[in-house]
Amino acid sequence: MRKRTFSGGTHPPECKYTENKKIEVLPPPDLVTIPLHQHTGAPSEPLVKKGDPVKVGTKIGEARGFISATIHSSISGKVKEVGECIHPVTGASAQAVIIEGDGEDAWDESVKSTDSYRDHEPQQLVEMVKEAGIVGLGGAAFPTHVKLSPPKEKPIDTCILNGAECEPYLTSDHRLMLERTKDIVEGGKLILKALGCKRGFIGIEANKPDAVSAFESIPKSENPFEVAPLEVKYPQGQEHYVIDAIIHREIPSGGLPMDIGVLVQNVGTALAIFEAVRFGRPLIQRVVTVTGSAIREPKNVLARIGTPFSTLFEACGGLKTVPRKIIMGGPMMGIAVFTDQVPVVKGTSGIVVLDEKDAKQFVEEPCIRCARCVDACPMKLLPTTIGDFARLGMLEDAERTGIMDCKECGTCSYVCPSRRNLVHYMKSGKARIFEERRKKKSA
């Protein structure tokens, strides 16, 4: 089996403890807190008020602008409050709809299935994806209808379904590929139709041979996607690198996959598209890997959007010890949260809970000029140089040397023997650059 890959990267321990754990469906919680901003772009506008009755799939937030996403209720019940919550991504206060369940779990009357879902025209498919509030489920949460609407001058000739799941610990995509193989392919076909695209690949890291076999077992007459086994390497799942590995095209600096005729969608997103078009179901739940040394029984669970992290921990037998760190996502690119009362959002692919032993704290030391970060950087940047420019406030130099091309994958920090906080410097530097641009634009 020939394995494709890209240059650079690293090999952190996989820690895929839940790869053989089937997805467990959690019951609807008694209370959900659903943020109105769970996606890249503008927050949604609330459509409900305190006391309003809602059902599963009722639209409670309207997309504000083109790059935005609709929000739906994940349980049936009554709106307790349109208030604020702690957002798991930003850690700041965010507007949210808080809903008390009625125990009936009744679906909204607008949710209707159809057997003729393959007959929809491309623009109809895009509209259905938009109405369903589907975003990228690999973690970035970019509105999917936007990716399915490239400009006419940038036609898509290749679609890649991303099943790499290269982050340590996470196995939610792996389980979906095993348990919902045909439905993912059906969703992929709908993507191809929406784009008018003929060529498709599904990229899967070679540490998931059962998933490779599952897709290869589908007759080619029913599966237009060629399986592309990928070398096990981080960050193989980032779209720049999965494109490079499979079709050897390079996205230009500051560009997007559409600039080179490619669209990349997570396998979970393809499944969500199938469920929206076939059954009329909006995105109200997702599979989450709950794992780590502080979790008593790590699992993959299907959880409703808005469910508190603490509820997921309880479903996994509770905590073995007081956690030293809770991370939404994987340990390389995930975001640390300071409370287990934050809600599951559309971008919550996993929750990693670490004890004192595994959540090691390192003291940053001076750079020793070993160039390991340079060798490992998949974007072929100079992380230590750019990090120094950002740390010292030399923003023009940081921008000149490529800070805006950094994908914040964390490879440089991981391989650094001095444990320098390079990703922190990159993030803070980019934030200051964006702030300077906003000031100039408003001046």
**Rounded to 5°, angle at Cα 172 from 207 and 120:** 110
Reading the block at residue 311, the tokens are 């509820």
User: For residues 227 and 237, is the Cβ–Cβ distance under 8 A?
Assistant: no
What is the reported pLDDT for 139? Answer: 77
Per residue in 285-331, pLDDT (tens digit) is: 999 999 999 999 999 999 999 999 999 999 999 999 999 999 999 99
Per residue in 221-236, pLDDT (tens digit) is: 999 999 999 999 999 9
Q: How far apart are CA 155 and CA 342, in angstroms?
A: 40
Q: How far apart are CA 328 and CA 142, in angstroms?
A: 17
What is the reported pLDDT for 411? Answer: 96
Q: How far apart are CA 23 and CA 133, in angstroms?
A: 23
Of 223 and 3, the structure prediction assigns the larger pLDDT to 223
Strand, helix or coil for residue 34: strand
What is the reported pLDDT for 1? Answer: 56
What is the reported pLDDT for 90? Answer: 86
What is the reported pLDDT for 212? Answer: 97
Task: Give the distance from CA 138 to its chain's centroid.
Answer: 3
Q: Work out the mean pLDDT of the chain and round it to a whole number.
A: 95
Per residue in 7-41, pLDDT (tens digit) is: 899 999 999 999 999 999 999 999 999 999 999 99
Residues 6+ apart with CB under 8 A from 366: 418
Picking from 324, 333, 281, 284, the residue whose alpha carbon sits closest to that of residue 306 is 284
Task: Name the pLDDT band for 112 (thresholds 50, 70, 90).
Answer: very high
Single pTM value for the model: 0.95
Check whether 84 has a pLDDT greater than 70: yes
The total of other beta-carbon atoms located within 10 Å of residue 318's CB is: 12
Per residue in 28-79, pLDDT (tens digit) is: 999 999 999 999 999 999 999 999 999 999 999 999 888 999 999 999 999 9
Per residue in 359-418, pLDDT (tens digit) is: 877 789 999 999 999 999 999 999 999 999 999 999 999 999 999 999 999 999 999 999
What is the reported pLDDT for 365? Answer: 94
Q: How far apart are CA 373 and CA 428, in angstroms?
A: 19
What residue ranges define each of the domains in the chain, with the CATH number in brackets? Answer: 117-279 (3.40.50.11540), 372-442 (no CATH)
Q: How far apart are CA 292 and CA 8, in angstroms?
A: 27
